[in-house]
Copies of this chain bind each other. A is one copy, B any other.
Amino acid sequence: MPTDMTPDGKSAQSLAPLGPGATIGILGGGQLARMLTMAAHRLGLKTHIFCPDTESPAFEVTPHHTRAAYSDADALDRFARSVERVTYEFENIPVGAIAILEQHCPVMPGAKALAICQDRLAEKRFLSGLGLVVAPFLPVETMVDLNQARQRLAAPAILKTRRLGYDGKGQQHIGTDTESGAAIAALAGAGAVLEEFVDFDAEISIILARGTNGEMASYDPARNTHENHILATSTVPAGLPAHVSKMATRIAEKIATAFEYVGVLGVEFFLCGETLIVNEIAPRVHNSGHWTEAACAASQFEQHIRAVAGWPLADPVRHADAVMQNLIGDQVRAVAAGESVPGCKIHLYGKNEIRPGRKMGHLTRLTARAR
């Protein structure tokens, strides 16, 4: 057996494009998996969702799902045998699960991107290693580390756990009067990174797709706003000078190429003057790319499915101007009860329970493209 073949005979290196009606397995059953599934359906493909949660939004949009823990080797094994490829909607999949799946079936994007993006420290070192600008940072595990880091970095700073943080979870603001002991105690033994706070002029993001043959396609940059650490809006066009847009795209391409990436990658930047500081990378479709589904012929979800399927990428051309607004918690109520919002494309995630801070859906306001 050649070394690039899995035991089931599916080649992980030289992949044939998926044929009509093929099934892509997706780890995770949230709104991203739901939207990936809908994009797969538009292309005549199927998905099979693997998720431990009973009420997974993606379970409602496909007849094929497995509800099981990511540690359930038998369930993972059966799942991998029922699909042609596996992808995931979030980066915190246990690496053990990926190893089991890869016995049967290619898993995309690759393990390299996943390993790095699961660990904020590895991610920042990786980005620095590529010569990209990141906020000054230092690793922190103990109170001694933290006190040393506070002396070397400017205040204020942010203490972020290395693993499992999202939407501001696992983050602490460290001001000049913050007590180091309490901050370390709040980590509960988790490793962390202290980062200098960046006083940015704008937050922008690039959504890029890379195919199995190395071709890349980027959407126009979005200008993002956050509220309570959660994405609130994405606006396109972002109103950036052309050379800044181009630079952001080149940086995202550099990251994707270094990862030998296959699929859609989200890169968030802070813009300070004309300097682009890479804030975070997400090895998956990204909330700040939801506008593509309304304003482009091919959405980020379609691009990801195309890449994973080994298909040519679509043209990321945009036919309208767009402002995407997340519907967080109670913000969804009127729309979920039937209200229409003139000029806005509505997308609800079918979540039964409204909770504060929970992403329930999004609106995209579309206007004829300025020429």
Contacts and interface: CB of A to CB of B under 8 A. Distances in A.
Interface of A: 17-21, 34, 38, 41-46, 59-63, 65, 294, 297-298, 302, 306, 309-315, 317, 319-320, 336-340, 342-352, 361, 364, 366-369, 371
B352 A340 contact: no
Given A319-B320, A368-B368, A361 B17 contact: no
A366 B42 contact: no
Where chain A touches its partner, the secondary structure class is loop
15 contacts: A17-B338, A19-B337, A20-B348, A21-B352, A41-B350, A43-B346, A45-B350, A297-B345, A297-B366, A306-B340, A313-B340, A317-B343, A319-B320, A320-B368, A320-B369
Contacts of A338: 17-18, 306, 309-312
Contacts of A352: 20-21
Contacts of A312: 338-340
A263 to B, nearest CB: 15
Contacts of A45: 350
A139 B291 CA distance: 53
A320 B318 CA distance: 10
A346 B63 contact: no
Contacts of A21: 350, 352
Nearest to A347: B42
B42 A41 contact: no
Given A62-B61, A312-B338, A338-B17, A320 B320 contact: yes
A57 to B, nearest CB: 9
A22 B352 CA distance: 11
A368 B337 contact: no
A344 B298 CA distance: 8
Contact of A369 (B42, B346, B369): B369
A43 B348 contact: yes
Contacts of A41: 34, 38, 60-61, 350
Given A60-B41, A61-B41, A368-B368, A298 B345 contact: yes
Most buried by B among A18, A42, A347, A366: A42
A23 B64 CA distance: 19
A17 B62 CA distance: 26
A319 B63 contact: no
Most buried by B among A20, A38, A298, A314: A20
Contacts of A313: 340
Most buried by B among A41, A317, A343, A345: A41
